């Protein structure tokens, strides 16, 4: 299997693979934030056009470019109305978890499709681009899901943390200062390779375990 993965990686220009993968993963991530909020009674995602699988509805041009160039970026956040939920704290946590959860489901589906290569070896040479995209979908989906679970604003993990452990999480969820300070802390941790080091170990363990199955 490792020989197959090396072959797939070596055959394709990286940007040809990365662009569709980024579009797919970010779109699914943001769509499921919007979908979960809508299912829980908030019409804001519908009114703002975010309940859509159209990538243009979710992408932030600068954030997408940064993601492709530096592997750290952002999408347009899905706006939600905290007051529209019947159970505000629980529902906010569910909406926040929906994005990372969708990433892990995407990774599982892509991996299952990648396993078909073992059944039809000729698929590797005839459709190597498809294989490259599937492999990158697995890697990027897992990476984005794990990264967003970090409890640092404005990442999804921080919203889950505030919703579960504070009686009035809206004080933090909609506070731009909290997001600003969190972003500074996040960038500092990235600059000093603290998050990168931890993420590499976690992702390495997950992906190596999965690829052995």
Residues carrying an active site annotation = 30
- The contacts of residue 177 (CB under 8 Å, 6+ apart) are none
Residues 206, 106: Cα–Cα separation, whole Å: 15
Contact assessment for residue 122 and residue 153, using Cβ atoms and an 8 Å cutoff: no
Helix (H) or strand (E) holding 80: none
State phi, psi for 75 to the nearest 5 degrees: -110, 175
Closest listed residue to residue 199, CA positions, set 145, 154, 147: 147
Element (H, E) at 132: helix 128-148
Nearest partner of 31 among 85, 93, 103, judged by Cα: 103
- Report residue 59: phi and psi, to 5°: -80, 140
């Amino acid at each position: 299997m490792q020989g197959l993965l090396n072959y797939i990686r070596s055959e394709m220009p990286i940007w040809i693979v990365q662009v569709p993968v980024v579009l797919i993963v970010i779109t699914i991530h943001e769509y499921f934030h919007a979908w979960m909020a809508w299912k829980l009674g908030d019409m804001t995602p519908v009114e703002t056009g975010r309940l859509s699988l159209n990538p243009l509805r979710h992408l932030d041009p600068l954030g997408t470019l940064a993601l492709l160039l530096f592997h750290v970026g952002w999408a347009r956040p899905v706006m939600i109305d905290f007051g529209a939920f019947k159970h505000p704290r629980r529902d906010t946590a569910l909406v926040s978890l929906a994005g990372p959860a969708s990433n892990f489901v995407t990774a599982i589906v892509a991996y299952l499709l990648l396993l078909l290569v073992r059944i039809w070896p000729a698929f590797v040479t005839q459709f190597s681009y498809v294989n490259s995209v599937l492999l990158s979908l697995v890697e990027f989906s897992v990476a984005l899901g794990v990264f967003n679970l970090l409890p640092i604003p404005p990442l999804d993990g921080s919203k889950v943390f505030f919703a579960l452990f504070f009686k009035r999480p809206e004080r933090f969820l909609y506070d731009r200062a909290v997001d600003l300070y969190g972003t500074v802390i996040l960038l500092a941790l990235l600059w000093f390779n603290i998050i990168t080091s931890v993420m590499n170990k976690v992702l390495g363990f997950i992906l190596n375990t999965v690829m052995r199955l």
